[in-house]
Amino acid sequence: MTNPVTSWYDGLTQAESNVAWTVGVMCVLFVIGVGSGVLNLAYGLYLLALAGMYVLLSLGLNVHWGYAGLINFSVAAFWGLGAYGTALVSARDSPLPFTVDPIVGLFVGLGLAAVVAVIIGVPTLRLRTDYLAIATLGLAEVIRSVFNNQQAWTNGPSGILGLPLFFGNWPVLGDVPRGAPTYFLDVVLVAVFIGVTYWALRRLHLSPWGRTVRTIRADEDLAEALGKDAFRFKMEAFVVGSVVMALAGVFYAHLNLAITPSALDPTQTFYVWIAVILGGSGSNRGAFFGGLVLVIIVEGTRFLGGDLLPAAFPTAAVRLLVIGLLIVGVMYFRQEGILPPQHELVTPGTTDGGGPAGPAAGENGGGRSD
């Protein structure tokens, strides 16, 4: 009998085994850091939760860019719609006169994002790619501008504070002491969100719908010639991805218990883009890995201050520099990303090897979708 672990490992490509090792080392370092007290447990758990949020965002953008080839530069806006959606109905300091449970807020946030996705999608999804990029970035700024200026609805620039924890109103989980235990619950929550999203997106990707969307990405005219309504499929992909981004926003709002319009900065959008491109466009595993790397860059640069460097060291600028160099570096050295889609495009059980480890799913299997 073959050992399932070694046969799994043998089936990995070079890039995959490198990533597996990197993630393994990261996990070990994390455990050592927390165990030795270098990394505060509550903060460590918060970082994990934040990583989970970025993974969700990357999965959402991957539906847009990786599956359907839509250049969407309004990631931060849909994320913000999710966050504001739940904040408006569940926060103590919301301008609305009532508060409801965050579970309801979750659906309000997702619904708001879905509706706005349709409103934005109708005019923009017919545009060619670079125009779509510019138009979505402009509309995202319009959305941020509304959150910033409609004082009566959104509290304007001061944002909405006083959100409850996601499980705050629940009988048992709501009584968990604040700090590490609540952050642990957040990690569990985001893990559930990611698990459900990942499973749903994989099903979608392998379904006839997913194949059609990939065809549209590769050759829209061909898809039209085959009788597919390209606009409809692009709209569906746009709404699905936007709802996943809003899910990340809802989670973030209840993680940080506050949301301000400045968090909808377009730079956030570009952060998520680097996660997806670095991971490998079209690959959900890549999006997952990209999200983890992103949180290391975004949060890791905070540690650069401290003892090593002068107090006035511009960590925000260094973060920007690192991300900028990373974008250029990826485009230069490895445009297809670190984990381009390979096994993901192959329906399980259809290859000779009986699974993802089969030869057909190796370096030549699948094939890039763009």
Partner 1 sequence: MSALLQYVVNGLVYSAIIVLASIGLSLVYSIRGFANFAHGDTLTVGAYAALITFSGTSALLATSGSANAEGGLAGLLGGPAAFVVALAVGMAVAAVVAIASERLVFSKLDTSSIGLLIASIGVAFVMRAIVQIFFGNIQQAYQLPRSGPLPFFSALGVAVTARDVVVVVATLVLVAALHAILQYTSLGRQMRATSDNRDLARASGIRTSRIVDATWAIGAGLAGAGGVFLGLSLRLEPLMGFNILLVVFAAVILGGIGSVYGAMLGGLVIGVVHEFVPALSSLGIPISAQYANAVAFLIMVVILLVRPQGIMGEAVK
Where in 120-139 is the site for partner 1 (CB under 8 A)? 123-124, 126-131, 133-135, 137-139
| Distance in angstroms (rounded) separating the CA atoms of residues 135 and 72 | 9
Q: Does 142 bind partner 1 (CB under 8 A)?
A: yes
| Distance in angstroms (rounded) separating the CA atoms of residues 50 and 243 | 18
| Distance in angstroms (rounded) separating the CA atoms of residues 165 and 188 | 13
Q: For partner 1, which stretch binds (CB under 8 A), given 35-43, 140-148, 225-233, 343-351? A: 140-148
Identity of the residue, 179 or 329, whose beta carbon is nearer to partner 1 in the bound complex: 329
Q: Does 149 bind partner 1 (CB under 8 A)?
A: yes
DSSP state of 301: G
Dig out the tokens for 190 from the structure: 């985001």
| Distance in angstroms (rounded) separating the CA atoms of residues 62 and 254 | 24
Binding mask 72-111 for partner 1 (x = CB under 8 A): ----------------------------------------
| Distance in angstroms (rounded) separating the CA atoms of residues 185 and 366 | 38
Where in 16-35 is the site for partner 1 (CB under 8 A)? none
Strand partners, 160: 259
Q: Does 314 bind partner 1 (CB under 8 A)?
A: yes
Closest contact distance (angstroms) between CB of 203 and partner 1 is 28
Q: Does 71 bind partner 1 (CB under 8 A)?
A: yes
Q: For partner 1, which stretch binds (CB under 8 A), given 142-150, 193-201, 240-248, 287-295? A: 142-150
Where in 271-290 is the site for partner 1 (CB under 8 A)? 273, 277
| Distance in angstroms (rounded) separating the CA atoms of residues 201 and 184 | 25
Q: Does 119 bind partner 1 (CB under 8 A)?
A: no
DSSP states along 69-92: ------HHHHHHHHHHHHHHHH-T
Q: Does 238 bind partner 1 (CB under 8 A)?
A: no
Candidate list 12, 204, 320, 360; residue touching partner 1; CB under 8 A? 320
| Distance in angstroms (rounded) separating the CA atoms of residues 251 and 193 | 9
Burial letters for 271-298: b for 16+ Cβ neighbours within 10 Å, e otherwise? bbbbbbbbbbbbbbbbbbbbbbbbbebb
Identity of the residue, 244 or 330, whose beta carbon is nearer to partner 1 in the bound complex: 330
Q: Does 169 bind partner 1 (CB under 8 A)?
A: no
Identity of the residue, 234 or 343, whose beta carbon is nearer to partner 1 in the bound complex: 234
| Distance in angstroms (rounded) separating the CA atoms of residues 41 and 39 | 6
**Residues interacting with partner 1, by CB under 8 A?**
71, 123-124, 126-131, 133-135, 137-139, 141-142, 145-146, 148-149, 270, 273, 277, 314, 316-318, 320-321, 323-329, 331-332, 335
